[in-house]
Structure 1
Protein backbone atom coordinates (compact mmCIF):
# COMPACT_ATOMS: atom_id res chain seq x y z
CA UNK A 1 0.00 0.00 0.00
CA UNK A 2 1.25 3.47 -0.87
CA UNK A 3 1.10 5.99 1.95
CA UNK A 4 2.36 9.46 2.74
CA UNK A 5 2.79 10.84 6.22
CA UNK A 6 3.17 14.56 6.82
CA UNK A 7 5.54 14.15 9.71
CA UNK A 8 7.19 16.19 12.43
CA UNK A 9 9.88 14.04 14.06
CA UNK A 10 9.73 16.21 17.21
CA UNK A 11 6.11 15.12 17.81
CA UNK A 12 5.56 11.88 19.73
CA UNK A 13 2.16 11.27 18.07
CA UNK A 14 3.73 11.72 14.66
CA UNK A 15 6.50 9.26 15.54
CA UNK A 16 3.92 6.76 16.81
CA UNK A 17 1.91 7.12 13.58
CA UNK A 18 5.03 6.47 11.51
CA UNK A 19 5.78 3.40 13.63
CA UNK A 20 2.20 2.18 13.21
CA UNK A 21 2.49 2.45 9.43
CA UNK A 22 5.78 0.57 9.41
CA UNK A 23 4.41 -2.08 11.79
CA UNK A 24 1.61 -2.59 9.25
CA UNK A 25 4.25 -3.35 6.60
CA UNK A 26 3.96 0.04 4.92
CA UNK A 27 7.04 2.02 3.93
CA UNK A 28 5.48 5.46 3.63
CA UNK A 29 6.76 8.54 1.91
CA UNK A 30 7.76 10.82 4.78
CA UNK A 31 7.24 14.54 4.22
CA UNK A 32 8.83 16.72 6.88
CA UNK A 33 6.40 19.53 6.25
CA UNK A 34 7.90 21.92 8.81
CA UNK A 35 11.04 22.04 6.64
CA UNK A 36 9.40 21.73 3.24
CA UNK A 37 6.42 24.00 3.81
CA UNK A 38 3.03 23.95 2.14
CA UNK A 39 1.18 25.60 -0.66
CA UNK A 40 -2.32 26.86 -0.01
CA UNK A 41 -3.65 24.35 -2.55
CA UNK A 42 -1.87 21.42 -0.86
CA UNK A 43 -3.35 22.28 2.51
CA UNK A 44 -6.84 22.90 1.18
CA UNK A 45 -6.81 19.55 -0.65
CA UNK A 46 -5.49 17.74 2.42
CA UNK A 47 -8.15 19.29 4.66
CA UNK A 48 -10.94 18.66 2.15
CA UNK A 49 -9.93 15.00 1.84
CA UNK A 50 -9.81 14.63 5.63
CA UNK A 51 -13.16 16.42 6.06
CA UNK A 52 -11.66 19.20 8.16
CA UNK A 53 -11.65 22.98 8.07
CA UNK A 54 -8.40 24.90 8.46
CA UNK A 55 -9.41 25.88 12.00
CA UNK A 56 -10.08 22.23 12.89
CA UNK A 57 -6.65 21.28 11.50
CA UNK A 58 -4.78 24.08 13.28
CA UNK A 59 -2.37 23.40 16.08
CA UNK A 60 -4.03 25.63 18.64
CA UNK A 61 -1.56 24.76 21.41
CA UNK A 62 1.23 26.39 19.40
CA UNK A 63 2.11 29.75 21.01
CA UNK A 64 2.22 31.32 17.56
CA UNK A 65 -1.48 30.51 17.06
CA UNK A 66 -2.39 32.83 19.93
CA UNK A 67 0.27 35.41 19.04
CA UNK A 68 -1.25 35.77 15.57
CA UNK A 69 -4.76 36.11 17.02
CA UNK A 70 -6.07 33.14 15.05
CA UNK A 71 -8.80 32.31 17.59
CA UNK A 72 -10.90 35.06 16.05
CA UNK A 73 -9.71 34.62 12.46
CA UNK A 74 -11.70 33.08 9.63
CA UNK A 75 -10.60 29.91 7.81
CA UNK A 76 -8.92 31.86 4.99
CA UNK A 77 -6.75 33.76 7.45
CA UNK A 78 -5.87 30.55 9.30
CA UNK A 79 -4.97 28.85 6.02
CA UNK A 80 -2.74 31.78 5.03
CA UNK A 81 -1.01 31.64 8.44
CA UNK A 82 -0.42 27.89 8.00
CA UNK A 83 1.26 28.47 4.65
CA UNK A 84 3.49 31.12 6.19
CA UNK A 85 4.11 29.12 9.39
CA UNK A 86 3.91 25.34 8.69
CA UNK A 87 4.24 24.54 12.41
CA UNK A 88 0.63 25.70 12.80
CA UNK A 89 -0.68 22.59 11.02
CA UNK A 90 -1.73 19.81 13.40
CA UNK A 91 0.11 16.56 12.88
CA UNK A 92 0.41 14.02 11.54
CA UNK A 93 -1.71 13.76 8.44
CA UNK A 94 -1.59 10.40 6.65
CA UNK A 95 -2.76 9.75 3.10
CA UNK A 96 -3.36 6.27 1.64
CA UNK A 97 -5.41 4.94 -1.24
CA UNK A 98 -8.25 4.52 1.27
CA UNK A 99 -8.35 8.14 2.39
CA UNK A 100 -6.77 10.94 4.38
CA UNK A 101 -6.80 11.27 8.15
CA UNK A 102 -5.39 13.48 10.83
CA UNK A 103 -3.96 10.76 13.07
CA UNK A 104 -5.38 12.20 16.29
CA UNK A 105 -6.32 9.93 17.86
CA UNK A 106 -3.83 7.46 16.48
CA UNK A 107 -6.59 4.87 16.06
CA UNK A 108 -8.09 6.97 13.24
CA UNK A 109 -5.34 5.49 11.03
CA UNK A 110 -7.10 2.13 11.20
CA UNK A 111 -9.80 3.56 8.93
CA UNK A 112 -7.34 4.01 6.06
CA UNK A 113 -4.98 1.05 6.50
Structure 2
Protein backbone atom coordinates (compact mmCIF):
# COMPACT_ATOMS: atom_id res chain seq x y z
CA UNK A 1 0.00 0.00 0.00
CA UNK A 2 1.16 3.50 -0.78
CA UNK A 3 -0.26 6.44 1.16
CA UNK A 4 -0.27 9.70 -0.77
CA UNK A 5 -2.10 13.01 -0.50
CA UNK A 6 -5.10 13.63 -2.74
CA UNK A 7 -3.31 16.55 -4.40
CA UNK A 8 -0.18 14.52 -5.20
CA UNK A 9 -2.16 11.53 -6.49
CA UNK A 10 -4.28 13.77 -8.73
CA UNK A 11 -1.12 15.45 -10.06
CA UNK A 12 0.47 12.07 -10.77
CA UNK A 13 -2.56 10.74 -12.65
CA UNK A 14 -3.23 14.00 -14.46
CA UNK A 15 0.34 14.12 -15.77
CA UNK A 16 -0.02 10.73 -17.44
CA UNK A 17 -0.05 11.09 -21.23
CA UNK A 18 -3.45 10.84 -22.87
CA UNK A 19 -4.19 7.83 -25.02
CA UNK A 20 -2.99 7.96 -28.62
CA UNK A 21 -4.06 5.58 -31.37
CA UNK A 22 -0.45 4.66 -32.16
CA UNK A 23 0.66 4.03 -28.57
CA UNK A 24 -0.05 1.40 -25.93
CA UNK A 25 -2.98 2.26 -23.69
CA UNK A 26 -2.29 3.04 -20.06
CA UNK A 27 0.34 4.01 -17.59
CA UNK A 28 2.77 2.20 -15.33
CA UNK A 29 2.53 2.98 -11.61
CA UNK A 30 5.63 2.08 -9.61
CA UNK A 31 5.86 2.27 -5.83
CA UNK A 32 9.37 1.67 -4.51
CA UNK A 33 8.49 1.76 -0.81
CA UNK A 34 9.09 5.49 -0.44
CA UNK A 35 7.73 7.21 -3.56
CA UNK A 36 5.22 6.58 -6.33
CA UNK A 37 6.19 7.23 -9.94
CA UNK A 38 4.14 7.25 -13.13
CA UNK A 39 5.45 6.44 -16.59
CA UNK A 40 4.00 5.34 -19.90
CA UNK A 41 3.62 1.67 -20.75
CA UNK A 42 5.85 2.22 -23.78
CA UNK A 43 8.62 3.97 -21.82
CA UNK A 44 8.74 2.37 -18.38
CA UNK A 45 12.21 3.67 -17.57
CA UNK A 46 11.21 7.31 -18.12
CA UNK A 47 9.17 8.56 -15.17
CA UNK A 48 6.70 11.27 -16.16
CA UNK A 49 6.41 12.41 -12.55
CA UNK A 50 6.76 11.14 -9.01
CA UNK A 51 5.68 12.00 -5.48
CA UNK A 52 6.82 10.96 -2.03
CA UNK A 53 4.52 8.88 0.13
CA UNK A 54 3.90 8.86 3.87
CA UNK A 55 3.65 5.15 4.56
CA UNK A 56 6.38 2.67 3.75
CA UNK A 57 5.41 -0.87 2.70
CA UNK A 58 6.63 -3.42 0.19
CA UNK A 59 7.31 -2.18 -3.34
CA UNK A 60 4.90 -2.93 -6.20
CA UNK A 61 4.34 -2.12 -9.85
CA UNK A 62 1.25 -2.26 -12.04
CA UNK A 63 -0.21 -1.07 -15.32
CA UNK A 64 -3.45 0.92 -15.40
CA UNK A 65 -5.68 1.59 -18.40
CA UNK A 66 -6.31 5.22 -19.33
CA UNK A 67 -10.11 4.83 -19.12
CA UNK A 68 -9.85 3.73 -15.48
CA UNK A 69 -7.76 6.79 -14.63
CA UNK A 70 -10.53 9.16 -15.69
CA UNK A 71 -12.80 7.64 -13.04
CA UNK A 72 -10.14 8.03 -10.36
CA UNK A 73 -9.47 11.67 -11.31
CA UNK A 74 -13.21 12.45 -11.14
CA UNK A 75 -13.44 10.79 -7.71
CA UNK A 76 -10.47 12.83 -6.45
CA UNK A 77 -11.97 16.11 -7.74
CA UNK A 78 -15.10 15.52 -5.62
CA UNK A 79 -13.11 15.41 -2.38
CA UNK A 80 -12.71 18.38 -0.11
CA UNK A 81 -9.38 19.19 1.46
CA UNK A 82 -6.24 17.12 0.99
CA UNK A 83 -6.78 13.79 2.77
CA UNK A 84 -4.35 10.91 2.55
CA UNK A 85 -5.30 8.27 0.00
CA UNK A 86 -4.29 4.64 0.41
CA UNK A 87 -3.41 3.04 -2.95
CA UNK A 88 -3.53 -0.75 -2.69
CA UNK A 89 -3.07 -3.18 -5.60
CA UNK A 90 -4.66 -6.63 -5.50
CA UNK A 91 -3.32 -9.43 -7.69
CA UNK A 92 -6.22 -11.87 -7.28
CA UNK A 93 -6.35 -12.54 -11.00
CA UNK A 94 -6.42 -10.73 -14.29
CA UNK A 95 -7.08 -7.82 -14.45
CA UNK A 96 -5.36 -6.43 -11.40
CA UNK A 97 -7.58 -4.28 -9.20
CA UNK A 98 -6.42 -1.14 -7.46
CA UNK A 99 -8.29 0.12 -4.41
CA UNK A 100 -8.13 3.80 -3.51
CA UNK A 101 -9.29 4.58 0.05
CA UNK A 102 -9.63 8.04 1.56
CA UNK A 103 -9.01 7.89 5.30
CA UNK A 104 -11.36 10.82 5.99
CA UNK A 105 -14.92 9.67 5.50
CA UNK A 106 -13.79 6.12 4.57
CA UNK A 107 -14.50 6.70 0.87
CA UNK A 108 -13.54 3.79 -1.35
CA UNK A 109 -13.00 3.45 -5.09
CA UNK A 110 -12.02 0.16 -6.73
CA UNK A 111 -10.71 0.11 -10.31
CA UNK A 112 -9.96 -3.06 -12.29
TMscore range, shorter length: under 0.3
Q: Larger % of strand: which?
A: 2
Give the structure-1-normalised TM-score.
0.28
Bigger RCO of structures 1 and 2 (CA < 8 A, at least 6 apart): 1
Give the structure-2-normalised TM-score.
0.28
